Amino acid sequence: MDKYTLYIDESGASNLNDRQDDIFILVGIIISDKADQGFSNYFQFIKTRHEINLDRNFHAVEFYELKESEQYKSVNNKKARLFSYAVSSLIDTIPITMAVYEMNKKELRHILKLPDDYDFKNAPMDHKADKEIAYELLARRVFFDFVRFLRDKDAIGHIIAESRRESDIVLLKTFYDCKQETTFVGRERFRVYAKEF
C-alpha cells in the first residue's frame, strides 16, 4: 500500500486579536514517501551548495525578509536568486500535491459579529480559544482534504507540522476532533471523513 506524508505550514498569524495581517494562510503539501526521501536529500544538497546552515530548518521569512536574522545577513541578492531558482526547479520536478488555504480574519471577525475592540480577554473560558478559530477551520479543511486524497489513492498517510508553541494545542485539538465521529452529528459527509481519518 502506498504511503503519503502531509506537511502543514502557515503564513501569518491566525489569532483574531492580531490585526497586523488580515490574511492567514495554511498550506498542505502531500508527497509520497518514496519521493520524500529523495526530495529531502536533494534539498540538503541545495542548502550545502548555497552555503545555508544545514543544522537549522529553512524558513523563507528568515532568508528573504527578517533583516535581523542570521540567514538574511548571510545572503546577497545573487545568492538569493540562485537559491530560489534551484528550489523552484526542484519543486517543479518533484511529484507533489499542494493546496493553499486562505482565511481573511477581518471578514471572519465580521461574520462572527465581533466588535472592533473585542479582544477575547474578558470572554468566558469556553470562548477564549475562539481567537484561534481561523487556524482550526483551515486545519480541519487540510485534514479532510488529506483524508479524501488518501481514500482516492487507497493509501495510508501521516502528518508533519512544525511546532508553533501555543498553536500546537489548536492543531492537535483539531486533529483529535476530526477523528471523532461524534463531533459531526447531523453532518453525515464530515462524519464519514472522521471515521476514515
Residue by residue, pLDDT tens for the chain (197 residues) are 899 999 998 888 888 877 788 899 999 999 999 998 888 888 888 888 887 777 777 777 777 777 777 776 677 778 778 888 888 888 888 899 999 999 998 898 888 887 777 777 766 666 666 778 889 999 999 999 999 999 999 999 999 987 776 667 888 888 998 888 888 888 888 888 888 88
pLDDT at position 166 is 65
- Provide the β-strand partners of residue 101: 26
Q: C-alpha cell of 143?
A: 485534514
Helix ranges (H only) for the chain are 33-49, 60-64, 70-73, 77-93, 105-111, 125-128, 133-153, 166-179, 188-196
CB 77 within 8 A of CB 10: no
